[in-house]
Amino acid sequence: MPHAILTLVRHAETTGNLNRLLQGVTDSPLTVFGQAQVDALARAWATTWSNGDQSRDSTSSLDLPPPTLVVCSPIGRARKTAEAVHAACSRASQPSAHIVEDRLNQPGTSRLEVMQEQLTRDWLALIVDPGLAEKDFGWKESTRGGTHVAGYPKGQGSGESRTDFAQRVRRVGAEWLEAACSLASAHSTSTTSEAPIPHIVLVSHGMWISTFLSAHPPTTISHTSAQPGFLPFAANTGMFSLKVQLPPGPATARPTTDLFRANDVRHLANVKRQKGGIGRGAFDSKQTKLSSFFARTPSQNLDAGSSLETSPSPTKKRKT
């Protein structure tokens, strides 16, 4: 049965996560450990294009095909995570030139339409989708236990209601499932037998991912550590992968989905939090890394494991 894959990825760790704040649409910097998570995630995704082999038989450390399209929330922490994945998988010399900023802000534009536009180009696109943004908590932004935490921006107004947020995630999620079905259908009629399985990667937020899986519950759950009737809250850079198949009945029916990866953090196996509190601080992109003083070949950069650790973020439910 022809299918496509839809992978949901949560952003890397931020200082707000570490301080257990309600972040919502308010952004905070990645921690040093969060940047190490991003680096490890990018290295893992780069292996989906191992040796430039784009065939369906190509293997990767993630056991996933390369992305056909990368999509992200406009909020900084998710966008930075997505840009790293996009750059790692792009064959272009300047991947940032293929970031689609405002197309989905235009009234009446569907996600299927924007995806089809980008697939006519000979490059991997990164689409910024405002529909993937986290819930707006209004005045509760940057609070812990209802109290604002100094050093973080204050939120304003009442924010987005639980109902409005759930409806937005349901609608946006349905459009990306429709897009995945379109790719699956096109793949089934493709004359290129070695074409990789179509794969859409959505980089978003913890509550967005949980709400998506609640609004569009998988038809089946297989090959995951998830307990029946329970799915873990996404860890930072945790991945949930769904096999998406065309609806067996009328065109209005839901697609068939199989969740075969739940909160996968295998890419963090060799990532450790830096000692002495360094890993808890905000990442400074201007700071020179010690590794930059030592020359490496591109293949060494791709294969090198991080010297820094994994301590996957807690998977208990919390709003971040």
Neighbouring C-beta atoms of residue 54, cutoff 10 Å? 16
69 within some domain: yes
Q: Tell me what percent of the residues of the chain surpass a pLDDT of 70.
A: 78
Judged on CB neighbours under 10 Å (0-12, 13-18, 19+), 211 is buried
Rounded mean pLDDT of 274-301? 54
| Beta carbons of 235 and 310 less than 8 angstroms apart | no
Name the DSSP letter for residue 202: E
311 within some domain: no
Q: What is the pLDDT of residue 51?
A: 44
For residue 72, pLDDT beyond 70: yes
Least-confidence region, from 43-47, 53-57, 187-191, 196-200: 53-57
Rounded mean pLDDT of 39-43? 96
| Beta carbons of 77 and 94 less than 8 angstroms apart | no
Q: What is the pLDDT of residue 173?
A: 98
Range of the domain at 121: 3-49+61-286
Q: What is the pLDDT of residue 186?
A: 84
CB neighbour list of residue 290: distance below 8 Å, 6 or more residues apart: none
112 within some domain: yes
197 within some domain: yes
For residue 223, pLDDT beyond 70: no
Q: What is the pLDDT of residue 302?
A: 39
Reduced to 3 DSSP states, what percent helix, strand and coil does the chain have, rounded to the nearest 5?
35, 15, 50
Q: Reduce the DSSP state of residue 47 to 3 states and report it.
A: helix
Higher pLDDT, 179 or 303: 179
Q: How many domains does the chain have?
A: 1
Task: Give the pLDDT band (50/70/90) at residue 253.
Answer: confident
Task: Give the pLDDT band (50/70/90) at residue 291.
Answer: very low
199 within some domain: yes
Higher pLDDT, 171 or 187: 171
Q: What is the pLDDT of residue 227?
A: 58
Q: What is the pLDDT of residue 71?
A: 98
H helix or E strand, kind and range, residue 264 = strand 256-264
pLDDT in tens, 53-68: 444 444 578 889 999 9
Q: How far apart are CA 80 and CA 83, in angstroms?
A: 5
| Beta carbons of 144 and 19 less than 8 angstroms apart | yes
209 within some domain: yes
Q: Does the model's pTM come out above 0.95?
A: no
Task: Give the pLDDT band (50/70/90) at residue 286.
Answer: low
83 within some domain: yes
Q: Which of 5-19, 51-65, 86-100 has the highest mean pLDDT?
A: 5-19
314 within some domain: no
Domain CATH number, residue 241: 3.40.50.1240
Q: Encoding tokens for residue 95? A: 């991947």
Q: What is the pLDDT of residue 256?
A: 94
Task: Give the pLDDT band (50/70/90) at residue 284.
Answer: low
Task: Give the pLDDT band (50/70/90) at residue 239.
Answer: very high
CB neighbour list of residue 225: distance below 8 Å, 6 or more residues apart: 262, 263
Rounded mean pLDDT of 119-131? 94
For residue 216, pLDDT beyond 60: yes
Round the CA-based radius of gyration of the chain to a whole number and report it.
19
Q: What is the pLDDT of residue 148?
A: 95
Computed over every residue of the chain, the mean pLDDT equals: 84
Q: What is the pLDDT of residue 195?
A: 75
